[in-house]
Amino acid sequence: MIVITGSAGFIGSALAARLNEARFFDLVLVDDFQRPEKDANHAGLIFSEKVERSEFNAWLDANESQVQFVFHLGARTDTTEQDRGIFDALNLRYSQDVWQRCVRYGLPLVYASSAATYGGGEFGYQDSHEIVEKLKPLNPYGESKNDFDRWALAQCDRGNAPYFWAGLKFFNVFGPNEYHKGRMASVVFHTFNQVNATGGMKLFRSHRPDYTDGGQTRDFVYVKDLAEVCLFLMHHRKTESNGLYNLGSGKARTFLDLAHATFDAMGKPRNVSFIDTPEDIRDTYQYFTEADMSKLKSIGYDRPFASLEAAIEDYVHHYLNSGQRWTAPKP
């Protein structure tokens, strides 16, 4: 059995779909399945069992001998949420419980960290363990992810770690199955919907003199590339490769590049205007991120990542135009 927490969400359901494509069907889907807006993400998947998030620890205690791998992708991901208690419960303590059980039962673990741990990028974007203690995330979400990374590394120093583990610092992920995320969905998703509704797209204006409007950059990574890395790590699982890994495309691109690529994929004339960045996120808004991907490459991952334009074209043509999810292949 392969366990995927967060399996009703964006990345978890996408990974489950990729595992189905690779002929892995003995999946255990773990999530809070009480949110109907997520139902379509897992409705077409092939799996063995669904387990409610609140019951997972007890389930794993009873079924650990049947589990071969754990992908812990479940998390609270709202970067505008300010209630630290929510993040402590779901992103820190729950993750600690999963880690401890993987140690106890000898299970390999891949978990979701985040590029939000890097804060304003004062220490760069290298996935070095040496800088984790220094990082200053810009919001409670990023803090919770960095708190767990710090805790995990401390556990390793004490010899209390799964025999194989990897924490993946996801950069700006976009792609099919993100449709339920509302405000937190990708700019590609919002551009597609806004262009269809109005014929144009409004991007955030720059509030810094060193960046032009629309010139703010991110490392945008397609969810299909992310899933390929997860499969690689599942097969790789070498103890000497344990640690934190960046997971982006390795190339920063502007929001204007992204918007233009979406217009082009839709076959629509480019029409971009600018609005002020909302005040509730303006002070914590990142203007540049770019993953240093050398560490992942150093352990043998050599599959090329899709260009921004190619990824958006696939997303628009095969998913957004039809409203399709990425799900199990039809027999």
Residue 92 CA: distances (Å) to CA of 96, 140, 225, 244: 6, 11, 26, 16
Q: Are 293 and 248 in contact (CB under 8 A)?
A: yes
**Residue 59: how many other CB atoms lie within 10 Å:** 16
> What is the token pair recorded at 40?
């379509």
Per-residue confidence (pLDDT) for residue 77, from 0 to 100: 59
pLDDT tens-digit map of 25-66: 999 999 999 889 999 999 999 999 999 999 999 999 999 999
Per-residue confidence (pLDDT) for residue 78, from 0 to 100: 60
94, 111, 118, 141: the catalytic one is 141
Stretches in the chain below the pLDDT threshold 50: none
Per-residue confidence (pLDDT) for residue 331, from 0 to 100: 65
Per-residue confidence (pLDDT) for residue 126, from 0 to 100: 97
Q: Is 181 a known active-site residue? A: yes
Per-residue confidence (pLDDT) for residue 140, from 0 to 100: 87
Q: Are 276 and 112 in contact (CB under 8 A)?
A: no
Q: Which of 115, 91, 74 is nearest to 244 (CA)?
A: 115
Rounded to whole angstroms, the Cα distance separating 8 from 21 reads 17
CATH number of 2-175+220-249+290-305: 3.40.50.720
50, 181, 202, 295: the catalytic one is 181
Per-residue confidence (pLDDT) for residue 161, from 0 to 100: 98
Q: Is 287 a known active-site residue? A: no
Q: Are 117 and 173 in contact (CB under 8 A)?
A: no
Which backbone phi and psi does 170 adopt, to 5 degrees? -65, 135
Q: Are 155 and 183 in contact (CB under 8 A)?
A: no
> What is the token pair recorded at 316?
């628009």
Rounded to whole angstroms, the Cα distance separating 100 from 314 reads 39
